[in-house]
A and B are shown apart, each in its own frame.
Chain A
Amino acid sequence: MSNHPLLEVKDLTTSFFTSRGEVQAVRGVSFDVSPGEIVGIVGESGSGKSITCMSILRLLKSNGRVVAGQAHFEGQDLLKLAEHDMRKLRGDDIAMIFQDPMTSLNPTLTVGEQIIETIIAHRGSSRKAARQRAIELFELVKIPEAASRLNSYPHEFSGGMRQRVMIAIALCCDPKLLIADEPTTALDVTIQRQILLLLKEIQARLGMAIILITHDLGVIAEVADRILVMYGGMVMETGSVDTVFARPNHPYTQGLLTSVPKLRTAHKERLRPIPGSPPDMLRPPVGCPFAPRCLRAMQICVGEVPPIFEMGDQQTHKAKCWLHHPDAPTNDEGAA
């Protein structure tokens, strides 16, 4: 892995302006993605995972706006790019796969058309060449009878096959960064595994970086290099997967991990919920967003957002929790 990160997100802050007020979906998120690296993002529903990625690609709904922050991709700030140049990056250098393959494909166009139009838009190749490329891609994602399946409509495919189509579309211009937003959540357990293995295999072959959003810590453990734990629109803990899983340093991560009894299991385990519910991002807590549910919350947690502390064990391991303040009362669990 090279020293220069491929993507460098700094203090990303995104809000939605609704009739009920400002929904602060993402509140100062920072992270890097190096070339060829797989970064997993976990967190409960509503923690801002999707919105973080959509902000980077500038695909927010019209009521959403990036309020502050930067997102440097190969040195240029995506958030300052002209829309025209941004469009050229989407689907080309940065591609995205979505959660629900049932609804992410246009039902009235053949899958072939949906992949060919992308190739033509970015490569300007002839229809014939684009079609040839589409067949190759279908073979790459292991869709049988690739050539004839190009003429089928999305509803003629099963969920897993549709997700393969989505992946093929995403890969059509050899992206440097692939953002996969819960690519397996909507699928059957056995299919989930196949898709995951496919992604991993393709990554090994093509070497692009992947941001993998998921609810499933098992998935992260299996494929990701680095993990980002999000809560309440903020990154709570980050570090290499091995380190964070071995020594979770944030009460929220600890809660997540203990709520999954067996990792690395083929059987789909839903997170056993941590008691309580995530904050309402219309009126997020003033202090640590996790404080209302944290068993170890202190007075300061309620009043002030904790800063990010570097853990000693590894350079990239960081946690956003007051427990790691030098003045904080020491406790056996803190460094467990």
Chain B
Amino acid sequence: MLAYLAKRVGMMIITMFLIITLTFFLMHAIPGGPFTSEKMLAPEIEAALNAKFGLDDPIWVQYINYLKGILTFDLGPSFKYPGVRVNDLILDGLPVTAQTGFLALLCVAALGIPLGVLAALNQNKWQDTAVMMFATIGVAIPSYVVATVALYFFALKLNLVPTFGLDDWRGYILPVVALSGFWLSFIARLSRSSLLEVLGQDYMVTAKAKGLHPFTVLFKHGLRNALIPIVTVLGPVVANLLTGSFVIEQIFALPGIGRHFVLSISNRDYTTIMGITIFYAAFLMVMILIVDMLYMLLDPRIKLAEKSK
């Protein structure tokens, strides 16, 4: 178990390093980008800029400096906002993004899994049809469409919720719904098929033949096994909730990291783009690690396969 963990963390650090390197050199490869020469700037301003951001140094020196910065959790200065550091931007947006993201994840798990279970236990009955219809709609309609249509009807037309901001708890409703819609549906479908698969397994018949209480059969033998494939997709779900927050924060004008990120893209604020990307990647690596550990807890086969290696 410990060896496995160490191996995973090792892999993670290598992946992180690759991502940082890739991002750094991609940003520096931009033709006509600020790291080469900013258009229409007076030469003296450009020189000052270059000196300030260390752009005169050879690229590998810049690279080493950047890596050093990351080791001390410093993502450098913003390229567009004087005096603002990327760390500040991230810290500024973090509460909003974390709150909406966490609520969305909660919705996905706390609604998606029960809905899928409900459908599987009532296979081919109306509950199943209803859940599957809902899930098909949720999977097909893109989040930004859900967001804008909902914004129009519930905020502009019916005035039920504010059009932007999170001052009021109702402000969270639309962003969270739009953010979680797709993954909620996806998880509902996955839970359904996973549980159906498990319900058809021989060991479920064994559990019933042993005379166990139906609840024990369903929860201890059924759901526990059905959860395994669901847990494996939780990592990607978190990743996608994050990237989904880019548009959602933009549409609902939420001051989160996603909005800073999209803004930095349109501003060509390259250090911020780089910094936020790396922050996201690191966050996701940690999430994936957590999911892996959860997975090991649920499925003893993994633990042992690793042990015997």
Contact = CB atoms under 8 A, between A and B. Distances in A.
A91 to B, nearest CB: 3
Contact of B206 (A62, A89, A105, A153): A105
Contacts of B85: none
B211 A104 contact: no
B286 to A, nearest CB: 26
Contact of A108 (B205, B213, B299): B299
A256 B64 CA distance: 80
A225 interface: no
With most chain B CB atoms within 10 A of its CB, the pick from A57, A100, A104, A122 is A104
B267 interface: no
Interface string A98-136: 101001111111100000011001100000000000000
A87 B209 CA distance: 8
Contacts of A100: 202
Contact of A153 (B123, B202, B304): B304
B216 A121 contact: yes
Nearest to A58: B208
B203 A155 contact: no
B251 to A, nearest CB: 42
Nearest to B206: A104
B203 A106 contact: yes
A33 interface: no
B282 interface: no
Contacts of B206: 96, 98, 104-106, 166, 169
With most chain A CB atoms within 10 A of its CB, the pick from B123, B203, B210, B228 is B210
A88 interface: yes
Interface in A135-161: 153, 155-156
A189 interface: no
A108 B298 contact: yes
A69 to B, nearest CB: 20
A200 interface: no
Interface residues of A, number: 30
B212 A118 contact: yes
Contact of A121 (B213, B224, B298): B213
A32 B176 CA distance: 63
Contact of A117 (B201, B216, B298, B299): B216
Contacts of B211: 87-92, 118, 121-122
A95 interface: yes
Contacts of B214: 87
Interface in B84-115: none
Given A106-B225, A107-B301, A59 B203 contact: no
| A-B complex: 9 closest residue pairs judged by Cβ atoms | A91-B211, A90-B211, A91-B210, A103-B202, A106-B203, A96-B209, A118-B210, A104-B202, A153-B300
Given A95-B209, A108-B298, A118-B212, 6 more contacts: A90-B208, A105-B206, A106-B207, A109-B224, A121-B210, A155-B300
